[in-house]
């Protein structure tokens, strides 16, 4: 239990980096969330919906990173790009299992080659749905996970609104 507590404290100090990954992936997850916050604070033009007003930066959360890591582990190991987990779970169920209680839960995902968080971010920014979700001002908290596996590098961000 002491090791788990130390791990959670370390994750919090890393700005909600991935739970089950090495130093490179932790750094990539931290950069991914930092980049997203920069986009939110500056505002952005999303395809299909136009200019998005600036939104507050997301509060990093180790619980959200744990939920993101569940899906990132699955995607990186299987090569499956899906919001459905190997057990049939949804993003909301994975969030609940990680201890998150929130009105709204969203998850954005990307699977690519190599360790390149900016490539994932650019893909999301060019997707009308993903760009809209990640800049939605109702979301206040997030966590990211980047996992390199046998089938590629998975990037997952879990975003939630205020707690229930």
Segment 136-151, tens digit of pLDDT: 999 999 999 999 999 9
Whole-angstrom Cα distance, residue 155 to residue 164?
27
**Tokens 């969203």, residue located:** 106
Beta strands in the chain (DSSP E): 44-46, 50-52, 59-60, 105-112, 141-149, 152-160
Q: What pLDDT score was predicted for residue 20?
A: 43
Model confidence, pTM: 0.85
Whole-angstrom Cα distance, residue 156 to residue 2?
27
Report the chain's mean pLDDT, rounded to a whole number: 88
**Looking at the predicted structure, is the pLDDT value of residue 104 above 90?**
yes
Q: What pLDDT score was predicted for residue 22?
A: 66
């Amino acid at each position: 239990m002491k090791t788990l507590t130390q791990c959670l404290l370390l994750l919090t100090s890393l700005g909600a980096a991935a739970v089950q990954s090495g130093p490179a992936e932790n750094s990539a997850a931290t950069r991914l969330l930092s980049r997203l916050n920069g986009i939110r604070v500056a505002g952005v033009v999303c395809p299909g919906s136009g200019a998005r007003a600036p939104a507050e930066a997301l509060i990093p959360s180790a619980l959200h990173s744990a939920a993101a890591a569940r899906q990132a582990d699955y995607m990186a190991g299987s090569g499956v790009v899906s919001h459905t987990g190997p057990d049939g779970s949804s993003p909301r169920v994975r969030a609940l299992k990680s201890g998150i209680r929130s009105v709204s839960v969203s998850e954005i995902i990307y699977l690519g080659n190599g360790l390149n968080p900016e490539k994932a971010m650019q893909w999301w920014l060019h997707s009308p749905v993903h760009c809209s979700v990640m800049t939605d001002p109702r979301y206040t908290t997030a966590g990211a996970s980047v996992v390199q596996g046998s089938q590629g590098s998975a990037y997952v961000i879990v975003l939630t609104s205020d707690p229930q």
